[in-house]
Amino acid sequence: MRQLILHMSVSLDGYVAHSDGNIDWLTPRGEGVVDHGDRRHRANLEMFGEIGLIAMGRAACEQMAPAWSSSDSPMAQVINTLPKVIYSQTLDEVDWPNTRISRAAITDEIPQLKAEGGKDIVVFGGGHFGHSLIRERLADELRLTVHPVALGEGISLYHGLPEPQRFELVSSTVYADGCVSQVLRPG
């Protein structure tokens, strides 16, 4: 059975975006900013070599599809080639190679997709979608990159969970820009 991996960036205080969905805090600008360089990029490319399906919600798709589908970067080539499923009740079409829209409830379809076998499923965007996966306990692994910034408010990955959820820390990696990537599994 394949696993569902939630691969996301979060702020120190657990937000994945500003309240309006803006993620400008992910790419700090200015003097003295440390570039995370090739190390984190290589780790992401390696992860995509283990992936058989990308899943995301409508908002993440609308942000990512135009950028990835028009890019010829090595990461874009991998992402554009992989099959993708977008969960949305309102989206009618997507202009992105190898993409289909699903109106199914994630609690029904995600377990079916996991049972199909093959390479793992990754979710790498969409705060509301990620939150739903955690709330419904559908994520088998969280790969969170915690950025050294506090937003104070925004779209929380964990807000309003019906009960506390514990996670086991599998590994962590510290990068030169102060980000910490953590691999966690539900306890």
Task: Note the pLDDT of residue 123.
Answer: 95
Phi and psi torsions of 162, nearest 5°: -65, -20
Cα–Cα distance, 65 to 91 (Å, whole number)? 13
Which pLDDT band holds residue 30 (cuts at 50, 70, 90)? low
The full 3-state SS of the chain, as one line of letters, equals: CCCEEEEEEEECCCEEECCCCCCHHHCCCCCCCCCCHHHHHHHHHHHHCCEEEEEEEHHHHHHHHHHHHCCCCHHHHHHHHCCEEEECCCCCCCCCCCEEEECCCHHHHHHHHHHCCCCEEEECCCHHHHHHHHHCCCCCEEEEEEECCCCCCCEECCCCCCCCCCEEEEEEEECCCCCEEEEEEEC
Question: Over the stretch 42-71, which tens digit does the pLDDT of each residue have?
Answer: 777 788 788 999 999 998 898 889 988 888
Decide if pLDDT at 86 tops 80: yes
Question: Over the stretch 90-138, which tens digit does the pLDDT of each residue have?
Answer: 999 999 999 999 999 999 999 999 999 899 999 987 888 999 999 999 9
Question: Over the stretch 130-158, which tens digit does the pLDDT of each residue have?
Answer: 999 999 999 999 999 999 999 999 999 98
Is the pLDDT higher at 37 or at 184? 184
Decide if pLDDT at 35 tops 70: no
Report the predicted TM-score, pTM, of the whole model to 2 decimal places: 0.89
Cα–Cα distance, 89 to 83 (Å, whole number)? 19
Task: Note the pLDDT of residue 31.
Answer: 52
Burial of 124 (0-12, 13-18, 19+ CB in 10 A): buried
Question: Quick one: tokens of 54?
Answer: 């990308």
